[in-house]
Structure 1
């Protein structure tokens, strides 16, 4: 994006404060390989939207990501920073271990502001959090109101006895601009140039794994023949294919293509598959580059929440394919067009639903969400600065 682009609609105001960021990253530096770049994102490029949204959406005297627990003793953190901002991801999960982080921040003498906390626990699943993870969650609750992604995560924390929570969605939305909403309000979804994102490597976590597999496979197969681009976030076989192509290793590329074909239930000998993988697969390690690419698309479809957020930040309509509670609670809160994969959904039905995507409910909801953000920030001793009223940016679309 241009440095002269209009400012985002929303800014978190922390005048005079020195803010330490710890959590999802905002940027990735130079990296020698795709694997190294992915590791720098926290193993999922979608995390960049969380960190980028909160970091660049905050106005303060000084801000920086934490240099590492060995660089600043926790007892002296307050000498360098006045507050810790946590751009959070799916910390509320039975496999997450935040023991080291809890031990560090418990000794620090600064408030903690957490925005975007989500749960990886499935409905009916009994929480079995690591002791250190539960300690970190309780610590954040003691130091301020926790901003959670949706009602499901709020309920999980409530059942744990953590009650000071605010349902605020994801900080990636802090990147919205007036021109974005105006474009989104006018946009008509079309198949002219489709951005595709999928979660084929996490199907075991789905609410309905088999319907998800059949739906994603059918959509992938259907879009091989369309003007479509497949945007990755951390899909290993696809990334191995890109790495092999970059290295000029045709044998490794062929093996990776066979693994991709097996995942999507198609023949590895199909010429259109190899052509698609060679020409139509993308991965981004920069939010600005990702959003810039999305600005050339006419619609985004897929089960990756932040893959579709990239489209919304570009003013391009998206259809969210919901496969887990993390995506579902966000889609329900934001009132974005979404389709629950609780049954096998034919590719044509998905494409038809995408063509009908209506963003008037989202634009209307944004005004209500802004008020919740204002209350959330003030509960944490912060404020919100508005460069425009979202309810007035695209009045015809939000009516």
Structure 2
């Protein structure tokens, strides 16, 4: 029996509540992680195989236990090569360095602007090298998202790199079909929009200029059946807890407050199971936006989708899979934002994506074979049929929408107020803790400087004492006495003459 430790938040067959997801962060801050984690789980769930999600818990101290209890550590990743992931990458490296079992990495990528510049990745080069070296000591190659990451790792001296894309696109194995239900989008069409709030401090990204927010607002005005599919943990918290923005009269250009129309009009949904997410998008006519996995979920549902790329992580996947896409930077001159979804829909051509899927799938299968992984797509395998059958027996959460509070005497507002007050307190406490750490570090540095100064002072005192001794010795030497006698004799002779 194969025993696999899988880097993922939870099993696809594990029904969890929003409270559990929020409390345990089972989505690693983004539901997009569900898609590629579940896809790998499905591929590797052969008869007799036991797969255990690690729930994103990484502790090097667990290495001995992992070596004893598992046969392989499978690590699906996304944009892990980025400065903000540095600590997590180091934790993974520290664990992997202690493992004696094989380690297989699926779909890791770097994150840069759409120009593929890598200067901002220089501060984490050491961490990336450490991770790659640790993995390649336990694996024949590293599976990466696309050509950008391949070139980046090649530049660091690593040639053992296989471009396999993101495993989420192979949720249905060799099968991938996307059909337009109509030649054009009517104003009554069912749309799903996905939005990124910021660029993650990635140079070259223009996501922070407000264009996507304006596009979402314009589409909201035009299409009566548009929903926003949120993905982040903070979105879950907002849907679950609410906030006081409506009562306070505050607003946000992005759907970050309950006063935003997408939340106020109950047009926001969030799914913390990949299967319910895909099922929901199957009912939509078109999806678009900046979230790669938000659009991948639509494509897996057979729903046309177009990605608006603002960085390398989305662009290299779109190029590898031939997913229809536009650069956000190229939309700056668009004057009819309300009509843009219809334009994107009409221009989208999915033939290259569908026609090339088989070849890309074969490449992934070869990658798994090369790494010695048993999988459901081997000759005689069921291609995931058993996985689907078991999934049908599980009662999963249908997805989240905004909590209205109901006729509760203002309970919803009161809870939201308390939560915001608690959040502010936590932020202040975090800032205070950070300041304490900084001051503690500074005090330690000053103490070390004082200790070093004391040592130097002692050494200086010794040197001065030695110098004084040398001066005395020189003054009392016969040569010195002779010079003084000669000097006195010369002065006498001169005075008599």
TM-score (norm 1): 0.79
Distance 2:158 2:24 in 1: 33
Query: In the comparison of the two structures, how many residue pairs are matched?
Result: 358
Report the alpha carbon displacement of residue 143 of structure 1 after superposing the two structures with TM: 1.9
Structure 1 outlier segments of 4+, above 6 Å: 386-389
Q: Which has the higher helix share?
A: 2
Report the alpha carbon displacement of residue 48 of structure 1 after superposing the two structures with TM: 0.8
Kept after mapping to 2: 8 A contact 1:26/1:53 = no
* From 73, 80, 104, the counterpart of 2:69: 80
Report the counterpart of residue 6 of structure 1 in structure 2: none
* From 329, 332, 341, the counterpart of 2:319: 332
Report the counterpart of residue 371 of structure 1 in structure 2: 362
SS in 2 for 1:316: coil
Report the counterpart of residue 40 of structure 2 in structure 1: 54
Residue 160 to residue 197, structure 1, CA distance change in 2 (3 Å):
same
Kept after mapping to 1: 8 A contact 2:295/2:306 = yes
Distance 2:73 2:262 in 1: 47
Give the stretch that moved more between structures: 149-158 or 90-99.
90-99
Report the counterpart of residue 155 of structure 1 in structure 2: 151
Report the alpha carbon displacement of residue 101 of structure 1 after superposing the two structures with TM: 2.3
Report the alpha carbon displacement of residue 171 of structure 1 after superposing the two structures with TM: 1.0
Report the alpha carbon displacement of residue 278 of structure 1 after superposing the two structures with TM: 3.4
Report the counterpart of residue 9 of structure 1 in structure 2: none
Report the counterpart of residue 197 of structure 1 in structure 2: 194
2:250 maps to 1:258:
yes
Report the counterpart of residue 3 of structure 2 in structure 1: 18
Give the stretch that moved more between structures: 226-235 or 379-388.
379-388
Report the counterpart of residue 5 of structure 1 in structure 2: none
Distance 2:266 2:190 in 1: 14
Structure 2 unaligned residues grouped into runs of 5+ = 384-497
SS in 2 for 1:113: strand
Report the counterpart of residue 288 of structure 2 in structure 1: 301
Residue 221 to residue 121, structure 1, CA distance change in 2 (3 Å):
closer
Kept after mapping to 1: 8 A contact 2:73/2:101 = yes
Kept after mapping to 2: 8 A contact 1:200/1:213 = no
Structure possessing the higher relative contact order (Cα contacts under 8 Å, 6 or more residues apart): 1
Residue 186 to residue 288, structure 1, CA distance change in 2 (3 Å):
same
Distance 1:356 1:287 in 2: 28
Kept after mapping to 1: 8 A contact 2:199/2:205 = no
Q: Which has the larger radius of gyration?
A: 2
* From 299, 305, 326, the counterpart of 1:312: 299
Report the counterpart of residue 25 of structure 2 in structure 1: 39
Equivalent runs, 1:170-209 vs 2, <5 Å: 170-176=166-172, 181-182=176-177, 184-185=178-179, 187-188=181-182, 190-191=185-186, 192-202=189-199, 204-205=201-202, 207-209=204-206
Report the alpha carbon displacement of residue 34 of structure 1 after superposing the two structures with TM: 8.6
Distance 1:277 1:85 in 2: 41
Report the alpha carbon displacement of residue 151 of structure 1 after superposing the two structures with TM: 0.3
2:345 maps to 1:381:
no
